[in-house]
Copies of this chain bind each other. A is one copy, B any other.
Amino acid sequence: MITNIDHIAVIVADIDAALEFWRDALGLEVSRVEEVPAQEAEVAFLPLGQGEIELVRPTSDDSGAARFLAKRGAGMHHIALEVDDLEATLARLKAKGVRLINESPLEAAGGRRAAFVHPQSANGVLLELYESIPE
């Protein structure tokens, strides 16, 4: 049901400065940099194998990512795993007593559906489950 590592999200204070490391020094490609209003962030997408690294700069002061940056500074924020049937996965997690941040799917980037598991149930990891695009 879980098929892939979809992305690793890194919160940064400045996209251009971050790209000096990830793109210019490390050599990763950048597919696009864009405002994502639903996330209150500007995001640089760096595809890598079957997944990608996302550099996320908060564009408001009151999102979870903005609070993370203010409190802890730049760093790894969450990981997203690809899942083929999000509702079935959420139902199973609930039945197992897992604490979910979103009990029903949210609309995420590109019209895909996603939901977050609470770090309390995932060894301190903020875990996003990201539904596959049907083939």
Chain A: residues with CB nearer than 8 A to chain B?
Answer: 1-5, 8, 10-12, 18, 21-22, 24-28, 48-51, 53, 55, 72-76, 79, 81-82, 89, 92-93, 96, 98, 119, 121-125
Contacts and interface: CB of A to CB of B under 8 A. Distances in A.
> Chain A's interface: helix, strand, loop or mixed, by majority?
mixed
Instruction: Give how many copies assemble into the complex.
Output: 2
A96 B24 contact: yes
Given A4-B48, A48-B2, A76-B79, A125 B93 contact: no
A21 B121 contact: yes
A121 B18 CA distance: 9
B124 A48 contact: no
Contacts of A10: 123-125
